[in-house]
Amino acid sequence: MQLLYGIFYLWGMVVRIVLSSPSALRGDKLTTTTTITTTTTTPEWYTDHGKIMLKERGTREIALRGLTWPGLDTDALAPYGMWKHSQEFFLDQLRAQKFNAIRVLFSAEWAYYHWDATPNPSMIYNDIEARNKTSLQILDMLMEKTQRKNIVIILAMGRLHKDFLTDIWVHYPEYPLSVFMESWFRLLDRYHLCPHLMGIDLFNEPHGVATMSGDPEDPYDWITMIINTIEAIETRYPSNSWLYFVQGIPWGAGYNTTLVDTLLLKPYANRIVYTPHIIDRQDPDLYRVKTPVRKMFDTWDQEFGFVSDQYHQKVMITRCNSVSTIWTGLLGDYALQNQMTNIFLWELSTDPNEGIFQEDWNNFRPDRIMILEMIQPNVTHAILQNR
């Protein structure tokens, strides 16, 4: 038990050591044949009463339609789908459907141990430009192309291992808390001057032993982990003004008042976005009761809706997992009624639960595009001006 309670003490020591010796842990500088425009005056992102705001040559509200692009969080070592089409193809298709934001998943294993590895050629077979490139150079390609097409990026640590999903507090010898933080530093050192890097999704779907006690002495407290991570990033990159995406527990689903009250006291409170993941529990009771919709809506109110309704903080759904168009349509209705119109419901895949593409990888799921059009019809087409 004493060992468990010492975890956060050691975490604090790790952060202090890292910040006092930045050169030891910095990632490679952005030196690549890919042309990525960088700037010393990065845009300022923040939230205001549930709205996403951007201060860049004036201040304006931004309307997002986003999706998640997995792959760098797995043994593919490249964004999914490049075995079928090029990055350019996918990005052009996304822009044609008014997507203007991508949440890029990666693993700590990839960022810390494998980003200079070359993906299996079968994983990138139909992207000629990506052939013979390292995994990191392929991400450079994506960063350059999204910037050119005016698509903003959220970097999201999807997992520790590339092969399976783990709880962040399950400590394997190769993944101490220092590797979690250093993995973030490596990526942010490389991309922190990219103006279209909008946000940082701290960790995907905390679960298992995770709590929201708000007690720094609790070795599994997600709130303390959030604060330690954000403050380490803020210290290392004082000129950046990113949004921080914070998921709930378990599996990203919900929040409590302790978490929100604690984060509201922080100087970066207006840059925190609460990003629940919603999974269809396939509860048969929902289809037996007289008012199943109200029961579902009440559940969502209790899990994450109160953050928007009572605290007026930004809530952005960043995952929807269901094969049911009816269920997903109801989630869309809920999001629309509660002004949660900046949304990342699906991922770039053909997965029947979460994918935006049909099995042929050529055509979008029309039902899912229709739901997005209902929720967010008027996206901001030119997010970054004069870039």
Q: Tell me, what's the pLDDT at 17?
A: 36
Give me the sign of the Cα torsion angle 142, 197, 167, 117: positive
pLDDT digits (tens, 9 = 90+) for 42-71: 899 999 999 999 998 899 999 999 999 999
Supply the DSSP symbol for 279. E
Start-to-end Cα distance in the chain: 53
d(CA 184, CA 31): 18
Q: What are the domain boundaries of the chain?
A: 2-24+47-375
d(CA 121, CA 76): 10
Are 268 and 296 in contact by the 8 Å Cβ rule? The answer is no
pLDDT band at residue 30 using 50, 70 and 90 as cut-offs: low
Are 246 and 273 in contact by the 8 Å Cβ rule? The answer is yes
Q: Is the pLDDT of residue 350 over 90?
A: yes
Instruction: Indicate the average pLDDT of the chain.
Output: 87
Are 379 and 62 in contact by the 8 Å Cβ rule? The answer is no
Q: Is the pLDDT of residue 305 over 90?
A: yes
Look at phi and psi of residue 6 and say left if phi exceeds 0, alpha if psi is from -120 to 50, else beta: alpha
Q: Which amino acid is at 282?
A: Q
Q: Is the pLDDT of residue 92 over 90?
A: yes
Q: Tell me, what's the pLDDT at 201?
A: 97
Q: Is 355 helix (H, G, I), strand (E, B) or coil?
A: strand
d(CA 135, CA 347): 20
Which residues fall within 8 angstroms of residue 33, CB to CB, at 6 or more apart? none
Q: How many CB atoms lie within 10 A of CB 123?
A: 22
Mean pLDDT of 159-170: 70
Q: Is the pLDDT of residue 6 over 50?
A: no
Q: Which amino acid is at 104?
A: V
Which residues fall within 8 angstroms of residue 370, CB to CB, at 6 or more apart? none
d(CA 264, CA 247): 15
Q: Which long-range contacts (CB under 8 A, 24 or more apart) does 171-177 make?
A: 174/109, 174/113, 175/108, 175/109, 176/14, 177/7, 177/10, 177/11, 177/14
pTM: 0.89
Are 153 and 198 in contact by the 8 Å Cβ rule? The answer is yes
Strand partners, 356: none
In the chain, pLDDT over 90 holds for what percent of residues?
Answer: 70
Which residues fall within 8 angstroms of residue 366, CB to CB, at 6 or more apart? none
Q: Tell me, what's the pLDDT at 29?
A: 53
Q: Is 45 helix (H, G, I), strand (E, B) or coil?
A: strand
Mean pLDDT of 18-32: 43
Are 157 and 203 in contact by the 8 Å Cβ rule? The answer is yes
pLDDT band at residue 325 using 50, 70 and 90 as cut-offs: confident
Which residues fall within 8 angstroms of residue 183, CB to CB, at 6 or more apart? 108, 111, 112, 157
Strand partners, 60: 54
Q: Tell me, what's the pLDDT at 9?
A: 38
d(CA 120, CA 356): 24
The larger pLDDT score, comparing residue 16 to residue 209, is at: 209
Q: Is the pLDDT of residue 24 over 50?
A: no
pLDDT band at residue 250 using 50, 70 and 90 as cut-offs: confident
d(CA 17, CA 266): 23
Strand partners, 241: 44
Domain 2-24+47-375 indexed as CATH 3.10.20.30: no
Q: Tell me, what's the pLDDT at 297?
A: 93
Mean pLDDT of 69-89: 97
